Amino acid sequence: MNSTAAVGVTLGRIIRRDRVVLIASAFVVGSAAWLFLLTVHHPGAHGASVWQPHWQSWGWTAYAWTVAVWMVMMVAMMLPAVVPWALFFARSNRLADGPGREADVSVLSFLSGYFVIWFLYSLAAAGVQLSLQHVAASRPIDDAVATAGSGLVLVLAGAFQLTELKQACLRHCRSPLGFFLTRWQDGPAGAARMGFRHGVVCLGCCWALMAVALALGAANLAWMVALTAVICVETLLPHGDRVGRGIGVVLIAWGTTLALLAALV
């Protein structure tokens, strides 16, 4: 076997190893995240979730805890969608640079850059979450008004699903090849920048659905599972863009129904 063939065989083995390691790592991290969320949202002795008592105080400790929970939520929900990108990146990086430790570091850099975006989102979402809880605690909101508000958020989220901006972001999320061909940057720093840019577009694709999580209650674990399934279907499956538009129609119908029910009360 000549040297070129030997390098090819070595690269092939490393790429297969990368695939196994990435998938196994994602499974472990994702399972740990969902287990944490299940524990946090498990009803306590008085029926409230473990997360709920932290909403009753409004200091920096409560904010930091809420940010941490939101970040774990983002990891749990977005990891299935970013793993195919990480696999594609790892393969491209190995083929470009050959065997080497820097390729492993670059994959971690790509994922770190990606989740920086979701950490920034978690900072904002935690602030909104605690603010809404504070308003509700200090000035109780009528159930009809709360229902109408939730309906409005659902309608707006559904409408966004049908916009060209949503479709443009979704086309990006469904096409890692086009992104890496046109935006490739070498080295760990370049990988982090690519991960960050992908995260920006990914947030643009999913922000409206995430807003629904706030409307329905961030402690709704069932909604998190459903949202994760929607994101995976949209970004990974054939005709996922059509499913996304269908979800938009469902959200509009759901929100309109809630608003009408609130008006009739």
For residue range 134-182, list pLDDT tens digits in order: 776 776 666 777 778 888 889 999 999 999 999 999 999 998 888 988 8
Report pLDDT digits (tens) over 214-253: 777 655 788 888 889 999 999 888 888 889 899 999 999 9
Tokens of 178: 């086009």
Average pLDDT score over residue span 34-62:
63
Tokens of 162: 């049908």
Interatomic CA distance for residues 124 and 120, integer angstroms: 7
Greater confidence (59 vs 136) lies with: 59
The pTM assigned to this predicted structure is: 0.83
What is the pLDDT at residue 43? 55
- The CB-based long-range contact list for 125-134 (8 Å cut-off, 24+ gap) reads 125/70, 125/210, 125/214, 125/218, 126/63, 126/66, 126/67, 126/69, 126/70, 127/63, 128/214, 129/55, 129/66, 129/70, 129/214, 129/218, 130/55, 130/58, 130/62, 130/63, 130/66, 132/214, 133/55, 134/58
Give the domain ranges of the chain: 3-264
What is the pLDDT at residue 5? 45
* CA gyration radius, the chain: 21
Average pLDDT score over residue span 46-71:
67
Tokens of 103: 């390729």
What is the pLDDT at residue 131? 82
What is the pLDDT at residue 46? 39
Instruction: Count CB atoms within 10 A of the CB of residue 217.
Output: 12
Average pLDDT score over residue span 118-129:
91
Please, what is the average pLDDT of the chain? 81
**How confident is residue 100, by pLDDT bands cut at 50, 70 and 90?**
low
